Structure 1
């Protein structure tokens, strides 16, 4: 017969998961997915102690994963649209014009804007940093701008675009976990992300004026020339972007809108760039790659290849597998009743919206420090806190926004996290060099807490919910 787990049994599932993740990921560099499965195994032992059978756990996992399927469809569609937009030249065109109009006298501001635009277009902060970001770092050296200062503006722009892009995996994941419409989630994030970024732009403008002047932009020119050799950048490359905007304005569902845009991108790639149609459809699965480019375009540098080789459904495999592993743990913990016990204990000590936001932020930061991966933060803290937001009569977008403020925005600042390691390797700086200059990354938390305790920007749930 099933019994309710004790608080010690319930909280042990979370504590053991944190210990397993810290030890395995940070110390032994074991993939996070394997560690989540191991954590699920411990949670299953607790479930057995309270009287559940394996069939019960399967039911809990299946139920939890069923709620994730709509967003998984979107995430896979994101891979399709990135691959086909690379095929059509839509994303490269955005990067092309961003770099072409770079203002050396406002370098830090320009670096933020260019990387933000690139990330919004691609849905990936990493891709933005490793392409436009590397070119911008080379320019910053010529302008004698401290590497950490330049990297801070670049990373902040990349993360801003990633966070605000409907193509981003973490943005879709946060909306999925909290059961919020993707565009409602993005609108909610404007409250914290935009003010934090405006403050960053002001600071970068003030400190960056001292470095103004002319510079040799050979690195940028080289990238621009190679893009123009690969793609015929003209008015037609904007067609996929225009189509998806029109589809969304006339309220076509997200996935069909993305697929329609992707089909138009394949057509543009074939007739405008001279690519093979078969390759266009291949880009939906494996993404766009240099083999699809005519050999007549000359030898491409590794930087340009790194820019164009993106997208495809397979590029989303890691985040989808992480969802399955994370939701296996969450499904078992929920089915065993551990989640209810933990929430009841926490709710007795939370009496205001401000305290709830603070608890979410602290939980997010703790999980970031433990896991070093934003997706784990969003899944675990989101599942744990969701019901408390419902009980307080708050719109779930408050939770989805706070998950990104304390997860997506903070992850680049963790030296042992995947993003922290990636940026240090790609940009040639250490976290302590760029930390202070990634201004929006840590100011988002300040705004989140301010809104929580002041009540400003806090949306109430509809009465019908």
Structure 2
């Protein structure tokens, strides 16, 4: 249990090493590819393994593998691999080009990014996963950037923004479920409380994207015709997502559907179809390995007392109702910065957040909403989080370049702070 682990600020040193190597080296050199992220995280792991002299090396290795093999991490890896395969097959059969060209024929260039953001919101709240949404739509975003003068980083920022909308609100999102269960409230009640806080942020985000792309224009001179049959794999993904089908089945169905379309039209042969799937897996191998290593690093930091230290520091400073709400927000934010996983951060911070809520008469709907909002806000902007790493892998650019354009996560953090400051929405606590 977390409370049985002694708080130790030095346990956060490996995390600092990772941040300095991964982000700091890019800031210093101006080249965020100078330091490979796998090298940075592995160096941090080596530092973590040298700490905590009371624990033998074999036990530390066991802790490392337990963290890397956490069910959430392995599920993320499977999603990454399937996403890579779907993207590879969809591109190979021409589904991406046809879908982008269809979008260009329906919407003017200056509304494409807003439309992409709204579609991401719709899919993510239906499917309940930001990584699954990114996996499905990042290739479309890449196509939009290729065929217009809209910046690639801006386009990918819109996809991350829309994906985090559902991660925070969907009733089947693991983060939402974790927030509700740790706070002992009802899903529908948490949704209502959460929705009224973040809806203005979503509207402002759409306005920002429309302003930034007001003068967007097509830069492709070749034929922009499309074949509707090649758009069907993406429409199928949308339909399955809205129907609430598990993301694994959605992606597998997309791979099979795209393959059938390509094979029936003669665009690919069976052997090429298999090769495309393999190429997609290969494209995601680095990202999958990074997710596993980060999971192991976080577990070592947790076992060494780093997470316990963060919880202790935040909880000691709470002394009032608003302070309790800020404490919940700060607690889950700091844990998320350290774990790079919003579900794990909510599960970790949730029990203490509930204690704070009971101590200061904070409604459970409110505490659940704050947990989910601030965890999602942090997760959507950290360059070493799964969402930005995934979209950056598709785009072929640094996640640090994309982070400044993830407006929605930034705005929900602001919306959350305003909700705390003005006490909105208001609740009547039972027994008060």
Q: TM-score higher than 0.5 here?
A: yes
Give how far 1:363 is off: 7.4
| Alignment match, 1:66 | 70
1:326 is the counterpart of 2:303:
no
**Equivalent residue for 1:112?**
114
Instruction: Go from structure 1 to structure 2 and tell me whether the alpha carbon gap of 1:410 and 1:70 turns closer, same or farther (over 3 Å shift).
Output: closer
1:405 maps onto 2:417 in alignment: no
Match of 1:141 in 2: none
Cα deviation, 1:107-143, whole Å, max 9, x if unaligned, reads: 2x44432576599776388755653224322xxxxxx
Sort the Cα spacing of 1:191 and 1:223 in 2 relative to 1 into closer, same or farther, 3 A: farther
State which of 233, 239, 253 in structure 2 corresponds to 1:240: 233
- For 1:117 and 1:403, the matched residues in 2 are separated by 22
Deviates most, 268-277 or 126-135: 126-135
Which of 238, 247, 256 is residue 254 of structure 1 equivalent to?
247
1:391 pairs with one of 352, 370, 385: 352
Q: 2:360: which partner in 1? A: none
Contact 1:71 / 1:176 at 8 angstroms: preserved in 2?
no
Instruction: List alignment gaps of at least 5 residues for structure 2.
Output: 124-132, 180-186, 355-363, 428-432
* Residues 232-262 of structure 1: CA deviation (Å, up to 9, x unaligned): x12x334434544565566654323421331
Secondary structure, counterpart of 1:224 in structure 2: coil
- Count of paired positions: 371
TM-score, normalization by structure 2: 0.66
CA distance in 2, matches of 1:176, 1:419: 20
Q: Which is further off, 81-90 or 264-273?
A: 81-90
Which residue does the alignment assign to 1:96? Answer: 101
In structure 1, the partner of 2:325 is: 353
2:261 to 268, 281, 286: 268
Cα RMSD over matched residues? 4.9
1:159 counterpart residue number: 157
Distance 1:244 1:118 in 2: 12
CA positional deviation for 1:83: 2.0
Cα distance in structure 1, aligned partners of 2:28 and 2:96? 37
Equivalent of 1:282, from 248, 255, 275? Answer: 275
Given that 2:7 and 2:312 are in contact with CA atoms closer than 8 Å, whether structure 1 keeps it comes out as no
- Kindly indicate whether residue 67 of structure 2 is the aligned counterpart of residue 44 of structure 1: no
Distance 1:451 1:97 in 2: 40
d(CA) in 2 for partners of 1:176 and 1:390?
Answer: 16
3-state SS in 2 of match to 1:123: helix
How far apart are residue 207 of structure 1 and its match? Answer: 9.0
Separation in 2, partners of 1:272, 1:201: 37
The separation in 2 between residues aligned to 1:116 and 1:341, in whole angstroms, is 39
Q: Tell me the equivalent position of 1:302.
A: none
Inter-partner Cα distance in structure 2 for 1:52 and 1:274: 58
Q: Is the 8 A contact 2:335 2:349 kept in 1?
A: no
Map Cα deviations across residues 126-175 of structure 1 (whole Å, 9 max, x no partner): 755653224322xxxxxxxxxxxx65xx7555323234349x99x9xxx7
The alpha carbon displacement at 1:275 in A equals: 2.0
Instruction: Tell me which residue corresponds to 2:222.
Output: 222
CA distance in 2, matches of 1:38, 1:385: 27
Counterpart CA distance in 2 for 1:271 and 1:443 is 45
Q: Answer yes or no: is the 8 Å Cα contact 1:386–1:399 preserved in 2.
A: no
Give the secondary structure class of the aligned counterpart of 1:52: coil
Matches within 5 A, 1:365-376: none
> Does the C-alpha gap of structure 1 residues 131 and 37 become closer, same or farther in structure 2, counting only changes over 3 Å?
same
Matching residue of 2:418? 450
Q: Deviation of residue 55 (structure 1)?
A: 2.1
2-structure distance, mates of 1:349, 1:423? 42
Instruction: Indicate the SS of the match to 2:90.
Output: helix
Aligned to 2:277, the other structure's residue is in SS state coil
Distance 1:419 1:42, change over 3 A: same
- Partners of 1:6 and 1:341 within 8 A in 2: yes
